[in-house]
Amino acid sequence: MAGQDCLAANDWICGEYVRSRAHELTAATVQHLWITAVSVALGLLLAFPLALVARRWKPAAGPVLAFTTILYTVPSLAMYSLLLPVFGVSASVVVTGLVLYSLTILVRNILAGLESVPEDAREAARGMGYGPLRLLFTVELPLALPAVMAGLRIATVSAVSLTTVGAIVGYGGLGNLIYTGMNSLFKAQVLTASVICVVMAVAADLLLLAVQRLLTPWTRHRGRARRLRPRAWRTAGTGKAAV
């Protein structure tokens, strides 16, 4: 009875809404996750060769970065409207828009990561007989991984947010519930869908951060060495060992 009362009163927080619309919330969340994951994955696949082109041919760096930046400045509503004649009313409109938006973040971070690789590491690998591809995938990319993962985290969180705008074509995941809830002033639906979006973004960021730490164990050891170094300096010259 209390649950039905919160629905009748149109409260912002209503457990009955979550219980009675669990299937609807699950379907919207799955669609939201699917669109986000596919968009970020495709964006990464497209950004990687663009970053390599920008790094290898310096005259191409300016146009590539400028093009991706211009794409990011296009309002999402305008972007989806421009893509509608090409893809029709489908999830492809939202996925393509998110892929284009992710390029400016991913290309810049991949490029920055590759350029931050010490030249000494490259020279040592070449001296050991590494070819261009082996050098890229076994030396440069692992060292560039922190910057790449940072860009991937930002792109993923942005995609979770921008997917909601896809509600204008009916493929916005949780955005569909937010949009219909706002039109009908259904408070519980708007708040619940919004909270799930926030939780999803935070969870994705934390998951990618955990993956980054797993793939780059040397960064943890480096941070530990920095914390221990001042202590070692304090014991230097005293004849005492650090405990």
Ordered DSSP codes for 27-41 = HHHHHHHHHHHHHHH
Is 146 domain-assigned? yes
CA dihedral 100, 104, 108, 109 (to 10 degrees): -70
How far is it, in rounded angstroms, from Cα 191 to Cα 25? 12
Whether 239 is in a domain gets the answer no
Examine residue 88 and state whether it is found in any structural domain, yes or no. yes
What b/e sequence results for 219-243 when a residue is b if at least 16 CB atoms lie within 10 Å of its CB, and e otherwise?
eeeeeeeeeeeeeeeeeeeeeeeee
For residue range 195-233, list pLDDT tens digits in order.
999 999 999 999 999 999 888 887 665 555 555 555 544
Q: Report the alpha-carbon distance of residue 186 to residue 173 in Å, rounded.
A: 17
Q: Does 171 fall in a domain? A: yes
Cβ atoms < 10 Å from Cβ of 82: 13
CB atoms closer than 10 angstroms to residue 8 = 10
Residues in the chain: 243
pLDDT of residue 235: 44
pTM summary value: 0.82
27 in Cβ contact with 11 (< 8 Å): no
Burial class (CB in 10 A: 0-12, 13-18, 19+), 180: middle
Q: How many domains does the chain have?
A: 1
pLDDT of residue 232: 46
Contact 174, 29 (CB under 8 A): yes
Let me know if residue 143 belongs to a domain. Answer: yes
CATH code for the domain of 160: 1.10.3720.10
User: Hunting for tokens 């991984």 — which residue is that?
Assistant: 145
| DSSP character at residue 241 | -
Rg for the chain, CA atoms, rounded: 24
pLDDT in tens, 142-196: 889 999 999 999 999 999 999 998 898 888 899 999 999 888 888 899 999 999 9
Domain of 97 in residue numbering reads as: 2-227
User: Which comes out higher in pLDDT, residue 36 or 77?
Assistant: 36
**Which pLDDT score, from 0 to 100, does residue 229 have?**
55
Classify residue 242: in a domain, yes or no. Answer: no
Q: H-type helices in the chain, by residue range?
A: 2-8, 15-20, 22-56, 58-73, 76-87, 91-115, 119-127, 132-135, 141-163, 174-183, 187-215, 217-235
Q: Which of 70-74, 218-222, 235-239 has the lowest mean pLDDT?
A: 235-239
Domain presence at residue 156: yes
Answer yes or no: is 243 within a domain. no
Report residue 16's pLDDT band, with 50, 70 and 90 as the boundaries. Answer: confident
Chain segment 20-69, per-residue pLDDT in tens = 889 999 999 999 999 999 999 999 999 999 999 988 888 888 889 998 89
